[in-house]
Amino acid sequence: MKNNEMHILVTVDENYLKPLEVMLYSMYQHHQKHKVVVWLIHEKITEKQLAPLRKLLGKFKWDLEAIKIEDDFFEGAPTVERYPKEMYFRLLCGDILPKDLHRVLYLDPDLLVINSLLPLWQMDLEGSLLAAATHTGVTNITTGLNNLRLNTDHNYYNSGVMLIDLDVARDKINLKDIGETIEKYASLLLLPDQDVLNHLYGHYIKEIPDEIWNYDARKYISYLTRSVGKYDLHWLMENTAILHFCGKPKPWQAKSDTKFTALYLDYARQMDYL
């Protein structure tokens, strides 16, 4: 891994390729002078389906490394059929990505990058498995509920943005533990891979501020209230790096009408003119 390269991990199926393109286009606007390698772990996307993404990244002079996972990768994991296989890929990326790759920044496709990611990419993880943010809101009631549900004693981390130390991941994360956790907590899992991440590995996570690195686009008023008026739109555009469109509807869907929908659609329109 070269020091001047940023390595981005995405795990999507064919239905999320277009949102993925928009996300990566938004990232490119703030990293035009940087070398980026995009690692796409998938199960069944065809080369024909990947062609528009390859073309787009070619315009950026970025590399796309697509890794197709074969069925035998999950041998001995009976629970895998309950959930989309893509949910396992980010948890098990240490076993999938090349051994000479030591860190990767995982990004969900349903987000916009609106400032530089370099401070996050270059962050010292201090031995932690990964860095991630929590979405606690104003009252923080959900943390207590999640602690009861998952038998944890720490904040509940969102898995949509994760800076991962792959060497630590290779040491700590394995499919057997994930499968056993899913079997044990099956009826309590609301967001399976995120719940598993928190239950098994929450103590190894370094917390990063969500208002900068994983801003929940649904909760503008909550952020504004929590900061006593500081985190307004002007502050956000200057300081926030990642806008995350959690929940539904997504900003590319007709029913979406949030404070940030127009910003998303503008990025999508700009990309179409490339």
The pTM is what? Answer: 0.92
Tell me how far apart the alpha carbons of residues 200 and 205 are, in angstroms, rounded to a whole number.
11
Check which CATH number belongs to the domain holding 194 and give it.
3.90.550.10
> Domain range holding 29?
5-272
- Tally of domains within the chain: 1
Q: Where are the strands (E) in the chain, listed by range? A: 5-10, 35-42, 63-68, 103-107, 111-113, 130-134, 157-165, 205-207, 215-216, 242-244
Tell me how far apart the alpha carbons of residues 80 and 116 are, in angstroms, rounded to a whole number.
36
Six token digits for residue 188: 């309590």
CB burial string 228-260: b at 16+ within 10 A, e below: eeebeeeebeeebbbbbbbeeebbeeeebebeb
Q: What is the pLDDT along the chain (274 residues), one digit of tens a residue?
A: 555 799 999 999 999 999 999 999 999 999 999 999 999 999 999 999 999 999 999 999 999 999 999 878 877 665 556 666 777 899 999 999 999 999 999 999 999 999 999 999 999 999 999 999 998 753 344 554 545 444 555 578 999 999 999 999 999 998 888 888 887 776 666 666 788 888 899 999 999 999 999 999 999 999 999 999 999 999 999 999 999 999 999 999 999 988 999 999 999 999 988 8
